[in-house]
Amino acid sequence: MMNEDIYVENFSGANDSIKIQAAIDYARTKKGKTVKLGNKDYLITKPIIIMQGVKLLFDYGTRFIVKGNFRVLEIQKNASLEGAYIAIDDPAFNSEVIYLNGKYKYYNTWHRTQIRDINIVNWHSSHKGIGLSLFSGGAGHEISFVNFENIKIAGMRIGIKLVASRPSSGFAWINANRFLSVSLDDCIEMITMSSSSTVPNEISGNQFKDLQIQPTSITTKVLKVSGQFNYFNGMIWDVSSIPQNRPVIELTANSMDTTLHIPSVPNNRIINNGQRNKVNL
């Protein structure tokens, strides 16, 4: 028996957020695991959780229009998001747009968590909120072997934020992820990472390939790195547009064996406080 298609438009609810969540919850219990959105705008006023084993698939003309201040999409282990266009239409918004929490233990290469073909744009000049946020902070919490592909983020306070905080016991990781063909534009901070250099709270072995980054006069930092063996390759445009000649790339004291290949950034705009980092060699 073939898996059924699950269409959001076949579900009812007091608002679009509730209707979408109802479709996702239904898919979680059925053989059909792909929830398809209509070719229309959805007004999003409440958080949505993509449950384990479910893919949320946008049509080419689908848009989420976000009103309010809340985490927009939380993605559990073995869940996926594809084709999303998410517009922040509230100057008060100051939360995460896409959020992964290591408590769900995304690990092993056979898990299917994937986030691809995503556009996130803040329609206001508030420059608030975080486009993509990964967090691990408890014993055994882990985000690993997840692919983030063709991601475009514009107008946020932070484009991509990775945080591994020290757990009360055990280890917490954000390791071995791929960020492929990422474009960041007009964010105050583009990519930030916060962790120890290694366990118990580690961000290591992540690959950022084919970056295209466009800072503006509101940008204060393009890249802040911690952890071991992280790799960055790509282009940063118009570095001179970032005022005050401050460093735009910071390899923190907790960075080790970072490989940084972004030749468009002059060395005097890079601060390297880490160990054995390789900068534009």
pLDDT, tens digit (0-9, with 9 covering 90-100), for 109-139: 889 999 999 999 999 999 999 999 999 999 9
Q: What's the pLDDT score for residue 3? A: 58
pLDDT, tens digit (0-9, with 9 covering 90-100), for 205-246: 999 999 999 999 999 999 999 999 999 999 999 999 998 778
Tell me the percentage of the chain whose pLDDT exceeds 70. 99
Q: Mean pLDDT over residues 48-59, rounded? A: 97
Q: What's the pLDDT score for residue 4? A: 74
Look at residue 52 and tell me whether its pLDDT is greater than 80: yes
Look at residue 30 and tell me whether its pLDDT is greater than 90: no
Structure tokens given for 175: 């390791």
Please indicate, yes or no, if residue 119 is contained in any of the structural domains. yes
Please indicate, yes or no, if residue 72 is contained in any of the structural domains. yes
Please indicate, yes or no, if residue 273 is contained in any of the structural domains. yes
Please indicate, yes or no, if residue 27 is contained in any of the structural domains. no
pTM of the model: 0.97
Nearest to 116 by CA among 78, 84, 156, 75: 84
Residue that is written with structure tokens 């053989």 in the block: 31
Q: What's the pLDDT score for residue 246? A: 85
Please indicate, yes or no, if residue 8 is contained in any of the structural domains. no
Look at residue 279 and tell me whether its pLDDT is greater than 60: yes
Element (H, E) at 190: strand 189-194
Please indicate, yes or no, if residue 147 is contained in any of the structural domains. yes
CA distance 232 to 177: 12
Look at residue 154 and tell me whether its pLDDT is greater than 70: yes
pLDDT band (50, 70, 90) for residue 67 = very high
Instruction: Please count the structural domains in the chain.
Output: 1
Please indicate, yes or no, if residue 29 is contained in any of the structural domains. no
pLDDT band (50, 70, 90) for residue 2 = very low
Cα angle 32, 1, 108; round to 5: 45
pLDDT, tens digit (0-9, with 9 covering 90-100), for 156-188: 999 999 999 999 999 999 999 999 999 999 999
Full domain range(s) for residue 76: 68-279
Tell me the percentage of the chain whose pLDDT exceeds 90. 93
Task: DSSP letter for 268, please.
Answer: G
Please indicate, yes or no, if residue 265 is contained in any of the structural domains. yes
